[in-house]
Structure formats: C-alpha cells, structure tokens
Amino acid sequence: MKNIISLSASKIAEEVSSGNLKAEEVVQAHLERIKTEDPKVRAFITVLEENALAAAREIDSKRSHGKKLGKLAGVPVAVKDNILVEGVETTCASKILKGFKAPYDATITQKLKKEDAVIIGKTNLDEFAMGSSNENSAFFKTKNPWNLETVPGGSSGGSAAAVAARMAPLSLASDTGGSIRQPASFCGLVGVKPTYGAVSRYGLIAFASSLDQIGPMARSVEDAALLLSSIAGHDPKDSTSAPQAQNRFSGKPLENVRGLKIGIPREYFAEGLDPEVRKSVWNAVDYLKTLGAEVKDVTLPHTSYAVATYYIIAPSEAASNLARFDGVRYGYRAQNIKSLSELYEKSRGEGFGPEVKRRIMLGTYALSSGYYDAYYNRAQKARTLIARDFENVFKEVDFLATPTAPSVAFKFGEKSADPVAMYLSDIFTIPSNLAGNASLSIPCGLNKDHLPIGLQLIAPAFEDEKLLALAATVEKAVNFPQLN
C-alpha cells in the first residue's frame, strides 16, 4: 500500500470501504503527520486525536459487521474553526470565544459524520474570518507549507495549509469574499465557493450572512467534488438554503470542450496584476482554446466598485452579527466590572482583535442614522449592478476565467500595516460573493520562486457540476506538482 498520507480522499474511502485499509490506520497516519508538520506550519487550533481515533474504530467496527459505509469512509477532514462540531471548542480564532464548546453540530458536520468522515481537527483562521493572510488570528499565524516565510492566505489559511502539508486530505472552509479561493491559490489547492444557498450555513458562525458560503478544499477536483457531494443540498434549518441545491458532483473532466465559450473579463487583467500570474492564467486558457473552446473578451463594467461595495455590506452585516458577543451569554467576560455598560465595553474591547473592531466600527457607521442611505443603501444598489453584469455576460459565454489573486503568496508583514492593500488581495474573488454565483480556484502553475498560482473559474448560479468538470479538464493538462 502506498504511503497513506499521499492517497487521495477518493482512494482512502474506496480502500476503507473494501477492507484493504482500516480507518484507524488512516487516521493514525495523519495524526503522526500532524505531529511532525504542524509545529512548523501551525494549521490547527485543536487536534481531535481521541475523538478521531474513536470515530475511526467505530467505522472499522461498522464495516466488520457488514454494514455499508458512507462515501467519505475513514477520510480525515480538517474543519475551519468557525463551523460547529458538537462538544468541541469553537473559537473563530478569537479571544472572545476562547473556551466556548459547541452545543450542537452544524448541518455539514452532521453530514460528514453520516458519510463516515473523521473530523481530525479545527483549523486556524483570521479572527471571525476577517482577513486575507491569517495574520489576524488571536492565537498564532499559520504558515504556507510551500514557503514558511509566506502567508497561506485568508481567512481559511489553516484549512489550506492542513491539506497542502498532507495533514488531512480534505478540509472545510468558509468564503465571504474569497476566503476559500485565495488560500487555495496561495497553497496550490482546489478551493470551491459553491453557489450561494447550495450548502447549508446552519452552524457556521456568521460574519456576513448574505455573502458567507461553505465549501471544500482539496488536492484534486475529484476530491473536492466528493466532499461537496457530501455536504451540499437543501436544508430546512437554513432559510437561505436553496430548494434546487444539488448534491451529486462527479469531478470528472468534460468529454468535449469544443464549442464552449470562455469569457475573459478585461477588468481582471488590468494594471497591478503580477506578470507571472498573468502568463500562467493565459497558458491555461490557451490550453482550453486548443481543445476547441471559444475564448472571448468580455466586460464586467461595475467590477471597479466591488471592493468598496463589499467593505460597506460585509462590515455592516458583521456589526449586526457580532452584537451577540457581549460577555453575558457565552465566551469571554471582562473582570472587575461595576455596570452593565462597562461589562459590554470591556468584554468586547478586550475580546475582539484590531481588524474585527475596525470592521464593526465601519459597519456601525454605515448603518447609523443619517448615513444608512448614503452608504449601505447605495452599496446594495451597486451590488445589484455587479450581479447584473454577471447575468448579462453569462448570456454571451458559458464560463469566465480570471486570476484568483493579483499575486502569489506574500511575506508576513508585507501588507499587514496597510489594511487597504490587504483588502485588495481579494479584488478578483469578491465579485462572485456579491453576485452569489459558483466559482473555484485551481492551480495553474508555479512562479520563479516555486510558489503556486491560481486560476479562477466562474459559472452561473447552480452550474457547480459543469464548473467542476471544466476545472477537471484544466487539471488534467496542468499536472500540478504536490508537496511531499
């Protein structure tokens, strides 16, 4: 048997289901990998060693009694620490939630367990998923396994680093403005932001409810499709869950690309794009062209307003969602308090980090009397125009191809002193969250420093299956190297 940590999730599930591998062996191999690699990378906030081994033994027992195993049989999955796992500490990488144990499972956590996956740990993130580099975690910084001096991306840097360093074959993360796709790009992974409403958000600690989406991170399209098939589908517990949400994704390449129309939005190839990123993305597009796809120059005219629009809407929703963390009901509570207002002020002042405070203040200001129409209301109108751009362009083309990020992974401290420069890291991913369509990042090359470059593919809402098929077609050609 090949080295277990090198096996794909699909292969692990197949071998465990057939009895060629024990789930306990698989989990033990990944726990050993965590022990050797995580002291350097620091992807995990919590490693669930005892829980994971107990779950693995239960799966092996189930199989030995002749019961059919789920589609993720014995596969270790790392879960971003803003998704609830019953009985497990869930912190959102924030001091304000230190010690909070989830009282119930998120819908997707229940689905993972039902499919016999093994939750191996909770991964680090930018506090409350607010950031693009993982430098905003209240606990520690996760490092990029490709180069430990560079960031893994954010906010799902821990989920990306765990998979890239082979500490887990799959991870779950959330994407509000690019938090799955940008770390996937930086860490050489496939990261999928499904259509808004395709995956239940019940049990995800909310940042911006109209933008948040949960999705998979994996080392291959096939594995990402396997995880997405396990978690997608309608959920009556989530009022934004779509009744038409699918839950079957093959991740197999398209049989025929001839006649497909791929749009290249000119706004995504403007000044400021790293030349090596531009070249790698165009190489992938040219490959599709050689297969018979038609490549067309298109425009999304309101793209230039996307970042400004996002940084009104997302902080406004965050200010509302994070009001519940008040030092009374759960989480961190300040000491030596003389009044209720002092309890609120000190608990929130001491419990939240600088970036979270910045966004709460931005959002509170945008929603305040006299400014609501000037900021929040106008941002919602701009959002409608951005969504309409996508609707119009998808009348002309089947998919869009763009860079995932303007650059490869940058060094720690390079952008942390300038919030605006950091916000611009998500300039190519934010529009898809505002529009709610399906998008993903897939590796398409390495730069001269051997750092991964990501290609973003975008499809209309609920065309997730076709999007994965196109990505698998590109993946076949690129033959991207994985870390050992």
Residue with tokens 């196109």: 470
**Rounded to whole angstroms, how far apart are CA atoms 179 and 191?**
9
80 is an active site residue: yes
Please give the DSSP secondary-structure letter assigned to residue 305.
Answer: G
The phi, psi pair for 147, rounded to 5°, reads -160, 110
Of the candidates 183, 112, 116, 221, the residue with the CA atom closest to the CA atom of residue 474 = 221
**Rounded to whole angstroms, how far apart are CA atoms 112 and 116?**
6
The phi, psi pair for 108, rounded to 5°, reads -70, -30
**Rounded to whole angstroms, how far apart are CA atoms 299 and 392?**
10
Of the candidates 452, 440, 439, the residue with the CA atom closest to the CA atom of residue 478 = 452
Paired sense of beta strands 452-459 and 399-403, if any = antiparallel
Which one of the listed residues 17, 94, 137, 155 is annotated catalytic? 155
**Each residue of 90-111: b (16+ CB within 10 Å) or e?**
bbbbbbbbeebebeebbbbbbb
Which one of the listed residues 17, 171, 179, 200 is annotated catalytic? 179
* Residue 153 bridge partners (DSSP): none
Which one of the listed residues 11, 22, 80, 113 is annotated catalytic? 80
Residue with tokens 């990123």: 277
353 near 91, Cβ under 8 Å?
A: no
The token duo for 442 is 């897939």
Amino acid letter, residue 484: N
Peptide bond into 316 cis (omega under 30): no
Q: How far is CA 359 from the centre of its chain?
A: 20
Please give the positions annotated as active site: 80, 155, 179
